[in-house]
Amino acid sequence: MAKEASACDGSEMRSPVVVALFGTLAACAGGPRPLNADYAVPQSPEIARSLALRDRYNLPKHLGETAIVVDTVSGHHIRFEASTIVWKDKAGKWQWSQVSETVPGGLLPTERKLASNDSRTLTDHEAATLDRLVATLSLYRETKKTIEARGIGAPFHVMSIVTPFGRTTISWDGRLIGTSGAIADIVLGKG
């Protein structure tokens, strides 16, 4: 008497449709998974300066497991420093905050004072784009590429990205391109 094939003994021929279905489900379930467990504040001197700017005016830092901090310095006649932070709030919405101040150090004498303090929620398009970009694992090992050389008084930026997918710090002048450049464009308002 012939043995009946059971679903578990592997004796039946697998249907190509079933194999394709399981392959598709595995691919969908295998999306970007968090890899970074270190959400500590980045330690570069520029990021420390950016956070100190917020401390001077008693403004929140909004740091957590998903945050992008950009320190910007520009100067010629007057020197400006800015702290820009984009983070995911407790509800999972991307928020944006930028604080800037004039500081001594340009050609004209000036005193340190708050120049601007703005915040907003990112648009749905910006948020979806940022979600996609920070989950791109190549971002965290990307080589910096810039275009448009820096001119007199042009800003110099240092950006630290800390997410569950990784962490990286990039410094540049001119225009940053690539995945990190697309993030910088959203964070600095050029997106």
Every domain of the chain and the residues it spans: 45-187
Task: Decide if pLDDT at 47 tops 60.
Answer: yes
Measured between alpha carbons, how far is 87 from 19 in angstroms, rounded to an integer?
40
Residue 37 main-chain phi, psi, to 5 deg:
-110, 0
Tell me the pLDDT tens digit for each residue of 99-116. 999 988 877 788 889 999
pLDDT of residue 119: 95
pLDDT of residue 2: 47
Would you give the end-to-end CA distance of the chain in angstroms? Answer: 72
pTM of the model: 0.77
- The pLDDT-based confidence of 33 (bands split at 50, 70, 90) is low
pLDDT of residue 13: 44
Question: What does the pLDDT average to over 158-165?
Answer: 94
Task: Decide if pLDDT at 49 tops 60.
Answer: yes
Measured between alpha carbons, how far is 15 from 81 in angstroms, rounded to an integer?
63
Question: What does the pLDDT average to over 64-75?
Answer: 92
Judged by average pLDDT, the poorest of 49-53, 60-64, 126-130 is: 60-64
- The pLDDT-based confidence of 150 (bands split at 50, 70, 90) is confident
Q: How far is CA 50 from CA 34, 40, 71, 117, 174, in A?
A: 27, 15, 5, 13, 20
161 neighbors 131 (Cβ within 8 angstroms): no
The more confidently predicted of residues 13 and 144 is 144
Question: What does the pLDDT average to over 163-191?
Answer: 91
Measured between alpha carbons, how far is 6 from 99 in angstroms, rounded to an integer?
67
Question: What does the pLDDT average to over 62-71?
Answer: 91
Question: What does the pLDDT average to over 52-74?
Answer: 92
Segment holding 17, helix H or strand E: helix 16-29
The more confidently predicted of residues 79 and 179 is 179
Judged by average pLDDT, the poorest of 13-22, 111-120, 147-156 is: 13-22
Task: Decide if pLDDT at 14 tops 90.
Answer: no
